[in-house]
Amino acid sequence: MSTAAPGYDGPVVDAFLHTPWLGGEDPAHPRGDTVDWHGDRRLARVMHTFAHTDPDGRPVERVGAAELLATMDAAGTSRAILPAKVYYAASEEGVRAVHAEIGALTAASDGRLVGVATLIPPELGPGTYWDVMRNVRLVQDAHREHGVVGVHLTPSPWGMPPNHKWFWPVFAACADLGLAVFVHVGAPGPLWPMDHHDPAHLDEIALAFPDLVIVAHHIGDPWTEMSVRLAARHPNFYVCTSAWSPKRWPAPLLEFIRGGWHGTAGADKVLYASDHPLLDMARATRDARALDVGADQLRRVLHDNSRQLFWPDQEV
């Protein structure tokens, strides 16, 4: 364990921003990552956290590249990852529109931003087997056209755990293309069922695809110890801190960062993220810098690990 003093004042990589607020929208090609839940009592219970309207019901103005980069500069954030997120039924065209908008943001960032694709949600949950290669082709196109570095899954609203066979062709494509898989773990903020977000589901994937980088985002509470064990168990498994204030990071995660588990240095297996704008980027980054963790460990968590994974050709 390092005895270095706490604190880190160098550049930060934010490994997970909340993208439905980011980028523009082509009226001719509506994005598939927003939901109009007004008038739907069930969705209102689930989606109030992600409302894309202000208190008066007016649409929230999306953030463009210049504004996002200025926010990053103010927070001391050198780079960030933009994962596409589609929670409910969406057409292929709607998902491609999200990819295009994220691609436009990354293209305007001078290399500071990279995108992560998502999938066309299964129409009927586990009953959808009509063309499992459709999402493979979508991912291949997003990689070729927009340079995405991974694929994002939202298991619970899609109605199946991430190790369900419906996803396996995508995992194979990601392993072949060198793309990471980002998977939501832990009790979700929206009122979705918890079970599909148990990180234990990811063990089977990591065993079957040893070269596949798996990023378990949102830490995994109340299964944080499982997330930590999986990160220690599998060389290409990482825990991402998105959507958690650093002041609230669970004790097992902090213990892992400060030390390790069975020979694995925990600071090498954790990626810092804010989920901005759901968490304020500057505040979250400031609080992360002040954690009672050695400076060397903080540097790896806040910068080095994500930089090495997703900007491997850049040193700083």
- The C-alpha atoms of residue 186 and residue 26 are separated, in whole angstroms, by 34
> pLDDT grade, residue 54 (50/70/90)?
low
Taking CA 20 as the corner, what is the angle to CA 18 and CA 26, rounded to the nearest 5 degrees?
145
Q: Residue ranges per domain, the chain?
A: 12-310
Provide mean pLDDT across the span 62-70: 94
> pLDDT grade, residue 48 (50/70/90)?
low
In this predicted structure, the answer to whether residue 14 has a pLDDT above a threshold of 50 is: yes
For residue 234, the model assigns a pLDDT of 98
> pLDDT grade, residue 253 (50/70/90)?
very high
Q: Which residues lie below 8 Å from residue 60, measured CB to CB, with a gap of 6+?
A: 21, 51, 52, 53, 54
Q: Map 98-116 to HEC letters.
A: HHHHHHHHHHCCCCCEEEE
Q: Which two tokens stand for residue 121?
A: 């949600």
> pLDDT tens digits, residue range 101-119?
999 999 999 999 999 999 9
- The C-alpha atoms of residue 274 and residue 169 are separated, in whole angstroms, by 30
Check: CB of residue 14 under 8 Å from CB of residue 274.
yes
In this predicted structure, the answer to whether residue 55 has a pLDDT above a threshold of 80 is: no
For residue 25, the model assigns a pLDDT of 86
> pLDDT tens digits, residue range 187-233?
988 888 999 999 999 999 999 999 999 999 999 999 999 999 999 99
* Percent of the chain residues topping a pLDDT of 70: 93
In this predicted structure, the answer to whether residue 316 has a pLDDT above a threshold of 70 is: no
* Percent of the chain residues topping a pLDDT of 90: 78
In this predicted structure, the answer to whether residue 38 has a pLDDT above a threshold of 80 is: no
Q: Which CATH number fits domain 12-310: 3.20.20.80, 3.30.460.10, 3.40.1480.10, 3.20.20.140?
A: 3.20.20.140
> pLDDT grade, residue 142 (50/70/90)?
very high
> pLDDT grade, residue 16 (50/70/90)?
very high
Among 26-40, 67-81, 278-292, which stretch is predicted with the lowest mean pLDDT?
A: 26-40
Q: Is the bond preceding 277 in cis, omega lying within 30 degrees of 0? A: yes
For residue 4, the model assigns a pLDDT of 42
For residue 140, the model assigns a pLDDT of 98
Helix (H) / strand (E) containing 271: strand 270-271
For residue 3, the model assigns a pLDDT of 40
Residue 142 CB-half CA count within 13 A: 36
For residue 46, the model assigns a pLDDT of 76
Provide mean pLDDT across the span 15-22: 93
For residue 5, the model assigns a pLDDT of 43
> pLDDT tens digits, residue range 73-82?
999 999 999 9
> pLDDT tens digits, residue range 150-187?
999 999 999 999 999 999 999 999 999 999 999 999 99
Check: CB of residue 209 under 8 Å from CB of residue 175.
yes
Check: CB of residue 121 under 8 Å from CB of residue 86.
yes
